[in-house]
């Protein structure tokens, strides 16, 4: 890394970050996985250790990276803790404090050999398929800055995948975009980007994952599914199987009433639940294979079936969002199927945990 504070002709680049991607995840898990890998930890072991159902009514935003994040013990929401409840992963949203020097915090972070996760609008990024066509809120990793040449170095694991330089002007348009309503994307437009960034830190290096350690994680997760109330008074958060029942019943009711917003919210909300189930299932399958535990691997497959069932619900909602009444019966069917798969997977995880 090189830089000269007095001349402000910076060239700050670290090693190219690792792409981390799975088919059912969004840019949220992909960018967090890249940061976790840079910290020397296994992204799947960190991001796949926890599995929850959580819905916060009225909280869903039209962003690819939306994830339900209730306030923690400190009273503040921590996206890292929500994504990795069993690890010391912390994430803080921030925006540039100095309008005259938008790059100061980015520069400081990169100089400290850390990565920046930036919110962007795909419409303004030359490497995204939506460039110049569709507005959509997205996340990328910034790993370098060359102010003298006017370049920002960006890594994006989401297909078609890109790692390299972007003109500063294009990045600034994307980073500061109003992300206006776009009829071509009802799910990730109409959400101001506002030069937001995420500071993500893994405070404590995770210990090696053992059967005993994973068993504790699984028991905690299974208990959360079966004992959580449908809504907690403090946040009205819908958690666990009872929370899913409340979410599904309201979703079907809103569809029957012709509520377009219900299906516009379903797509971004469901992606977070789908991604987490996918990662958790993959981790259990991997551990079951490595440890010679077919029951654990089977539990992983059961959790993955939940992830895949979210596809039917999300896609039905996406195609039918303009006429919710017309798809209300299909939505009801998909929620019923998904509820059965959740129950089966929770039982399988609980049984595997009891043996670990």
Count other C-beta atoms under 10 Å from residue 9's C-beta: 12
Distance CA 322, CA 148 (A): 48
- Name the pLDDT band for 70 (thresholds 50, 70, 90): confident
Question: H or E stretch including 341?
Answer: helix 324-355
Confidence (pLDDT) at 75: 67
Q: Which of 27-36, 64-73, 245-254, 306-315 has the lowest mean pLDDT?
A: 64-73
Question: H or E stretch including 146?
Answer: strand 137-146
pLDDT in tens, 206-249: 999 999 999 999 999 999 999 855 444 545 789 999 999 999 99
State how far the alpha carbon of 193 is from the alpha carbons of 59, 66, 188, 278, in Å.
17, 13, 11, 27
Confidence (pLDDT) at 73: 64
Smallest CA-to-CA distance from 218 within 52, 88, 55 is with 52
Looking up tokens 């994430």 gives 91
Looking up tokens 């059961």 gives 302
pLDDT in tens, 238-274: 999 999 999 999 999 999 999 999 999 999 999 999 9
Confidence (pLDDT) at 2: 42
The conformational region for residue 190 under phi > 0 = left, psi -120 to 50 = alpha, else beta, is left
Confidence (pLDDT) at 230: 47
Q: Which contacts of 285-291 are long-range, i.e. CB under 8 A and separated by 24 or more positions?
A: 286/44, 287/209, 287/211, 287/214, 291/211
Non-local (6+) Cβ contacts of 150 within 8 A are 167, 168, 169
């Amino acid at each position: 890394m090189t830089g000269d504070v007095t001349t402000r002709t910076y060239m700050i680049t670290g090693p190219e970050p690792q792409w981390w991607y799975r088919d059912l995840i969004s840019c949220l898990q992909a960018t967090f996985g890249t940061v976790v890998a840079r910290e020397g930890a296994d992204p799947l072991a960190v991001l796949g250790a926890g599995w929850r159902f959580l819905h916060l009514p009225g909280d869903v935003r039209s962003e690819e990276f939306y994830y339900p994040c209730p306030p923690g013990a400190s009273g503040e929401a921590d996206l890292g803790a929500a994504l990795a409840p069993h690890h010391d992963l912390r994430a803080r949203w921030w925006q540039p404090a100095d309008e005259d020097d938008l790059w100061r915090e980015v520069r400081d972070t990169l100089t400290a050999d850390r990565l920046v996760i930036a919110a962007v609008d795909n419409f303004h990024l030359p490497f995204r398929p939506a460039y110049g066509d569709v507005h959509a809120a997205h996340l990328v990793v910034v790993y370098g800055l060359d102010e003298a040449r006017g370049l920002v170095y960006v890594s994006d694991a989401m297909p078609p995948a890109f790692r390299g330089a972007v003109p500063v002007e294009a990045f600034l348009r994307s980073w500061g975009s109003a992300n206006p309503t776009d009829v071509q994307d009802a799910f990730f437009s109409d959400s101001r980007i506002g030069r937001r960034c995420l500071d993500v830190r893994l405070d404590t290096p995770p210990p090696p994952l053992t059967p005993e350690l994973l068993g504790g994680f699984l028991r905690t997760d299974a208990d959360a599914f079966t004992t959580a109330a449908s809504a907690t008074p403090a946040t009205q958060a819908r958690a666990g199987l009872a929370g899913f029942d409340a979410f599904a019943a309201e979703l079907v009711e809103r569809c029957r009433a012709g509520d377009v917003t219900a299906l516009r919210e379903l797509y971004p909300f469901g992606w977070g639940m789908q991604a987490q189930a996918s990662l958790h299932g993959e981790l259990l399958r991997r551990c079951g294979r490595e440890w010679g535990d077919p029951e654990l691997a089977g539990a992983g497959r059961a959790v993955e079936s939940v992830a895949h069932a979210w596809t039917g619900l999300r896609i039905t909602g996406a195609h039918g969002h303009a006429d919710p009444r017309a798809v209300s019966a299909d939505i009801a069917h998909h929620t019923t199927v998904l509820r059965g798969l959740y129950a089966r997977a929770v039982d399988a995880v609980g049984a595997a945990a009891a043996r670990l």
